[in-house]
């Protein structure tokens, strides 16, 4: 590795510490942090502007596989996973992960940050305006949950995120408690991240633009290894905070975080 590549990996280790904490706390895979950060960092290290966003999306989804898996395991041990909801969501999320990656590969590169920003800001507004859940409602039929999972998977893969920013509010709106929505989202996000990552790797192999060394398709290994080396360990901290903080406070943190990230990508 060159000195520049090692520096990038070190910066990504710091990024991973933040990602892991947020993953455990909010049930997100970390893409909301990783995508904007890599879209800023990768051009500084010589990557072509035409491939920066697909590589940021692919690498983000790869980090989500490991980070969300670790977060999901912490929440599962705490009893914070609704397995019925997860079983219904996962098939649709996997299909959506493939569809979103294919769509992202066909869109002009400068569209992707704007799409990312709009998606994230929409979810922030939904979280800020949603009313407190007073009574629990039964989940809808599995096919309706799976259909929602397909939409969540498509939008999430298109934005390079694990789906937590959609899955958490959706499950909470459907009557799942906030803590279980976070844990279930982490598990679903790991599966979605795997489907999206594989799709981006395959699409990267098929395109003609030269890719940097140490990349597998659109997946950039130095950034991936840097992020996951610290993110997996820090999920324990975030999961512990999620149990201790009240639901209303978690929702406010989540919504505020989404506003900052979405606005930064629209202004990029």
Q: What is the pLDDT of residues 56-115, one digit of tens each?
A: 989 988 988 887 888 888 888 888 888 888 888 888 888 988 888 888 778 886 787 788
Is the distance from CB of 60 to CB of 38 less than 8 angstroms? Answer: yes
Under DSSP, the state recorded for 140 is: -
End-to-end CA distance of the chain: 30
Establish if 10 belongs to a structural domain: no
Q: Give pLDDT, residue 127.
A: 66
Q: Give pLDDT, residue 108.
A: 80
Q: Give pLDDT, residue 264.
A: 73
Q: Give pLDDT, residue 12.
A: 93
Compute CA distances 47 → 78, 259, 260, whole Å: 42, 28, 25
What is the rounded distance in angstroms from the CA atom of residue 53 to the CA atom of residue 59? Answer: 10
Print the domain residue range for 159.
18-266
pLDDT digits (tens, 9 = 90+) for 171-210: 877 778 877 888 888 888 888 888 888 988 998 888 877 8
Q: Give pLDDT, residue 72.
A: 83
Joined tokens for residue 60: 């983000």
Count of C-beta atoms within a 10 Å radius of residue 78: 15
Q: Is the pLDDT at 250 greater than 80, yes or no? A: no
Is the distance from CB of 45 to CB of 5 less than 8 angstroms? Answer: yes
Establish if 167 belongs to a structural domain: yes
Q: Give pLDDT, residue 246.
A: 72
Establish if 11 belongs to a structural domain: no
Averaged pLDDT score across all residues of the chain = 81
Q: Is the pLDDT at 129 greater than 60, yes or no? A: yes
- Which stretch, 126-130, 206-210, 217-221, has highest mean pLDDT? 217-221
Establish if 129 belongs to a structural domain: yes
Q: Give pLDDT, residue 27.
A: 62
Count of helices and strands (H, E) across the chain = 10, 2
More confidently predicted of 257 and 220: 220
Length, in residues, of the chain: 268
Establish if 119 belongs to a structural domain: yes
Establish if 248 belongs to a structural domain: yes
Establish if 6 belongs to a structural domain: no
Q: Is the pLDDT at 47 greater than 70, yes or no? A: yes
User: What b/e sequence results for 27-38 when a residue is b if at least 16 CB atoms lie within 10 Å of its CB, and e otherwise?
Assistant: bbbbbbbbbbbb
What is the rounded distance in angstroms from the CA atom of residue 218 to the CA atom of residue 237? Answer: 31
Residues 6+ apart with CB under 8 A from 79: none
Compute CA distances 152 → 34, 99, 171, whole Å: 19, 11, 12
Under the banding of pLDDT at 50, 70 and 90, the label for residue 1 is: low
Give the whole-number percent of the chain exceeding pLDDT 90.
13
Establish if 9 belongs to a structural domain: no
- Helix ranges (H only) for 45-137 are 49-77, 83-106, 111-129
Under the banding of pLDDT at 50, 70 and 90, the label for residue 134 is: very low
- Work out the angle at residue 48's Cα, subtended by the Cα atoms of residues 44 and 53, and round it to the nearest 5 degrees: 85
Q: Give pLDDT, residue 218.
A: 92
What is the rounded distance in angstroms from the CA atom of residue 191 to the CA atom of residue 189? Answer: 5
Q: How far from the centroid of its chain's Cα atoms is residue 16's Cα?
A: 13
Number of domains in the chain: 1
Q: What is the pTM for the complete model shown? A: 0.74
């Amino acid at each position: 590795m060159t000195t520049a590549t090692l520096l990038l990996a070190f910066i990504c280790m710091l990024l991973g510490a933040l990602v892991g904490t947020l993953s455990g706390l909010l049930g997100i895979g970390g893409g909301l942090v990783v995508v904007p950060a890599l879209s800023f960092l990768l051009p500084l290290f010589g990557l072509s502007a035409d491939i920066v966003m697909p590589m940021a999306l692919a690498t983000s989804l790869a980090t989500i596989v490991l980070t969300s898996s670790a977060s999901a395991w912490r929440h599962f041990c705490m009893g914070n996973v609704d397995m019925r909801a997860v079983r219904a969501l996962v098939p649709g999320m996997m299909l959506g992960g493939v569809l979103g990656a294919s769509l992202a590969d066909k869109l002009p590169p400068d569209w992707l940050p704007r799409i990312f920003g709009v998606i994230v800001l929409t979810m922030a507004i939904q979280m800020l305006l949603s009313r407190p859940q007073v009574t629990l409602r039964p989940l809808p039929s599995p096919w309706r949950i799976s259909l929602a999972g397909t939409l969540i998977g498509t939008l999430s893969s298109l934005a390079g995120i694990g789906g937590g920013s959609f899955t958490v509010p959706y499950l909470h709106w459907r009557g799942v408690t906030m803590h279980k929505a976070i844990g279930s989202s982490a598990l679903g996000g790991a599966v979605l991240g795997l489907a999206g990552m594989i799709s981006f790797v395959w699409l990267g192999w098929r395109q003609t633009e030269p890719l940097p060394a140490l990349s597998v398709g659109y997946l950039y290994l130095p950034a991936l290894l840097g992020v996951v080396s610290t993110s997996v360990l820090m999920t324990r901290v975030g999961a512990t905070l999620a149990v201790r903080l009240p639901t209303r406070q978690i929702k406010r943190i989540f919504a505020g975080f989404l506003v900052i990230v979405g606005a930064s990508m629209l202004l990029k």
